[in-house]
Structure 1
């Protein structure tokens, strides 16, 4: 791999890449959102439904939600995406597209592996391929997010691109969930995962057919062949490392006596507080850095030191806010499908709810969130988003206590997905405004990853919580946690970063 400067920086001897038009950017991020959204449900909501249909204990299903923790730690490898090229691919398509193409190959192979182990007779094997799917999906998002922030640095520019990205993401995510469930209802889970795997791979040839990053570049076919060869080697190494890490983790859990009967909630809460404690200990030293010392920082930690230095102690309030804001959405995604299954809804009904209903409501929420973000302050739009997200959680209490009917299911899903789409759009814009143009991918990876750390930690304990407080208590709690973010808004809207002079 060779180190080069980030996109948008002058590279000796080469002209800068042309910035795509607004129309092309909109279409590009529809495509990238689609590419990232298709696999998400397959290691999350669809997988929990699949496990539920196979009779896996609800507590174990909750443990599988911890696979979604992986994206919260994307800051650990985001600097690699920021600094290094993928051999072969980058030579013709550039660094960002090179990582995206590698990630798509990883997504395809992981989902095919999940298809051929869809009987879930070996849960460790199911977990291995789900983790790999989550890893490559996240890597695609890291590359795409960094590129987006570079191409559209202001709030006004971000709003339409974020809307396009979320439209693509949510339409693909919902279509994958609905499509996989309907195919599974008529065939089996193996066919369902294979169908989505091939659909998720469709953007790869489209990206490969796109023009070179810089005018005059040649050698498309050699670059493609070299990139595929290097990618297969990278995928094999990633699978072996993941398998070894998983074996060590499972051995440690077994040695600690953790099982389906273990109440892991107190441990999860203690782990969730640890990053705040470590950051609070590090902040005094970071705050004392001079501007010259900050400018001299390089390497892995530089993007994160700059972020914490810029916001100082206010970063603790920012991180607390982002940790709460999407809480309800994550918790709802974990147990909503098992809830529907236990409430007596068929796969066909769930598939329609996850498809036409969820997609329409989510798109409407994203559109309204993006529109209001161009006309109102972020404080107002974030507040509205918190209310709509909380309502989307609380509506499932009504569903649980109502007689099963299409009207109840579709109304609940529509309200949930509208709030999810609205809150998601304004939240992405908010996070994008916090990052430095010098480190967009790494800092966005940290903020967006941290935003889901606490929710996904708790999601892993959701099965344990459900056995203690029931479905109604669980969804009342998840909605209340999302709503609580409102109380931090008066502090958040006054946070301003200092500038190195």
Structure 2
């Protein structure tokens, strides 16, 4: 396939991958709270996201059995069924059946993630990682925007029930489209058990800095993000300002940053992308430090939010290119799931203490700490430099400016 055709399929499949996240993270808390469910129960619903973190446990099955399209279409069909059935159950009193239904939803979504991420690795040729990762971040962000804030806004006009029905039908349509996506020839040993080669890949000495970098690169960005919305609320900004500037404009700028970051990685290579775009990602936290610590015009937070959202997209595009570059195509599903779970583990564990951090340190000092947390990941680029330079795009090798690394 030509790159343009690959990007079209990547856009479609990553839209399908991002849509369930918006529903689970944004829509469900609002939907159940409107129906009078307690905050304690809504908090427990965060445990339903565990399949996204633990998906590496069944990723070997995706590598070993069936085509990528089989897994993706089956997962999307399951998402469609659960979305159609959910409003038929009593939302005011979530019982075991409703909890099981929501767990089935997140399990199907996590399984789809495994297969779609592996398919992206299958499609990518050397030098195409930047463009593909820029498109995948963009498509997923658009789906998050529509499936989260867009669905909530529309529910205020038409109610949740008809929108759940429309979303279920959309999942069915996406399943049909995924079934007809182009098959990619895989290695002859694709059907062999991936456990031994994956363990051999995992326990190589060079994987120590790779895993450490995966844990730490987005740590400053993740720990800041946990407390951004409460900071807006505590500073007295309206819901309209939070929705328009922090969420909607922020999503648009993150998409733009992802596209720009994908171009940068394709042009200058993965190492330069992680170094320079990761540096900008770190510096953006200082905008919130300044707003929290200094007496600035009320609109200053708009600039801090815009810069943070843009650099989040830049850093994410480079980071995904790094993760993709570490995977072997014949075992991509398992390996990519392992690396993404490693990142998710650090994000969730450290983020769980973010509220305590603000309570004990205050916003200004806490935001400063999040900036410092980004430094170790950048330092770890030094032992990875040689490997990353060897993986960079061919055009980057020929066009890289002197001294860029």
TM-score, L = length of structure 2: 0.79
Q: Distance in 2 between matches of 1:351 and 1:31?
A: 26
Indicate whether 1:175 and 2:146 are aligned.
yes
> Residue 492 of structure 1 corresponds to which residue in structure 2?
384
- Summarize the alignment of residues 313-328 of structure 1 with structure 2, pairs less than 5 Å apart: 313-328=205-220
8 A contact 2:130–2:264 mirrored in 1: no
More helix by share: 2
> Residue 288 of structure 1 corresponds to which residue in structure 2?
none
Aligned length: 382
> Residue 432 of structure 1 corresponds to which residue in structure 2?
324
**Alpha-carbon shift at residue 407 of structure 1 (Å):** 3.3
Question: Which residue, out of 155, 167, 176, partners 1:208?
Answer: 176
Encode CA deviations 1:226-251: one digit per residue, 9 max, x unaligned.
xxxxxxxxxxxxxxxxxxxxxxxxxx
> Residue 338 of structure 2 corresponds to which residue in structure 1?
446
Indicate whether 1:146 and 2:118 are aligned.
yes
Encode CA deviations 1:133-167: one digit per residue, 9 max, x unaligned.
4332222121111111112142x122222221111
**Alpha-carbon shift at residue 214 of structure 1 (Å):** 8.1
Q: Distance in 2 between matches of 1:350 and 1:362?
A: 16
> Residue 195 of structure 1 corresponds to which residue in structure 2?
163
User: Which consecutive residues of structure 1, in runs of 5 or more, have no partner in the other structure?
Assistant: 1-19, 86-94, 216-294, 497-501
Indicate whether 1:162 and 2:133 are aligned.
yes
Question: Which residue, out of 20, 23, 38, partners 2:19?
Answer: 38
- Find the residue that maps to 1:345 and give its secondary structure: coil
Instruction: Summarize the Cα distance change of 1:195–1:412 in structure 2 as closer, same or farther, 3 Å threshold.
Output: farther
> Residue 106 of structure 1 corresponds to which residue in structure 2?
78
| C-alpha RMSD of matched pairs (Å) | 3.9
**Alpha-carbon shift at residue 69 of structure 1 (Å):** 4.5
Instruction: Summarize the Cα distance change of 1:55–1:466 in structure 2 as closer, same or farther, 3 Å threshold.
Output: farther
Q: Distance in 1 between matches of 2:106 and 2:387?
A: 33
TM-score, L = length of structure 1: 0.65
Instruction: Summarize the Cα distance change of 1:327–1:84 in structure 2 as closer, same or farther, 3 Å threshold.
Output: same
Q: Distance in 1 between matches of 2:97 and 2:285?
A: 32
User: Which consecutive residues of structure 2, in runs of 5 or more, have no partner in the other structure?
Assistant: 184-188, 389-405
Instruction: Summarize the Cα distance change of 1:409–1:113 in structure 2 as closer, same or farther, 3 Å threshold.
Output: farther
Q: Distance in 1 between matches of 2:96 and 2:287?
A: 34
8 A contact 2:77–2:171 mirrored in 1: no
**Alpha-carbon shift at residue 445 of structure 1 (Å):** 1.1
> Residue 227 of structure 1 corresponds to which residue in structure 2?
none
Instruction: Summarize the Cα distance change of 1:488–1:209 in structure 2 as closer, same or farther, 3 Å threshold.
Output: closer
> Residue 351 of structure 1 corresponds to which residue in structure 2?
243
